[in-house]
Amino acid sequence: NGFPVVDNLVDQRLVGYLSRTELIRAVSIAQEQSFSSASIVSLVPDETTLDSQLIEIAEQGSPEALNFSKYLDSYVPVVFEDTSVFQVYGLFCKLGIRYCCVQTGGKLRGVISKKDMIAYLDVSEEIVQNYFV
């Protein structure tokens, strides 16, 4: 449960993954520090990669930017659009990962979760218990 993070909306290069738990933690800390809901949130360590639209908003007197990059997991399991279902299944089994991101030409195309894979394969309960529990 989480969210892939890309560098910007045009290039859509994957820079990391933010788990739901880490996002909740980061928001809680920000609320304790009295940041408003209008604050700009940066998920990448280098602020020079922020979209020009966000920079314009910041220059118009937006509250202080929040840097959530320390909550970002930069190790993201990645497969490509032409990766076979069996190879993806093998990654879930061998690495014990819960999700992997799908890329094409360096752009993020989607996320496959372990749960999605189980539903897609419609595997027997025995296989599910042996490999995914």
Q: Does domain 78-132 have CATH number 3.90.1280.20?
A: yes
Q: Is 61 left (phi over 0), alpha (psi -120 to 50) or beta?
A: left
What per-residue confidence (pLDDT) applies to 94?
94
Q: What is the dihedral of CA 109, 113, 117, 122, to 10 degrees?
A: -130
Q: Where in the chain is the domain with CATH 3.90.1280.20?
A: 78-132
What per-residue confidence (pLDDT) applies to 62?
54
66-104, pLDDT tens digit by residue? 778 888 898 999 999 999 888 998 999 999 999 999 999
User: Considering the entire predicted model, what is its pTM?
Assistant: 0.71
What per-residue confidence (pLDDT) applies to 4?
93
66 forms bridges with which residues in the sheet? Answer: 41
3-48, pLDDT tens digit by residue? 999 988 889 999 999 999 998 888 888 778 777 666 667 776 665 4
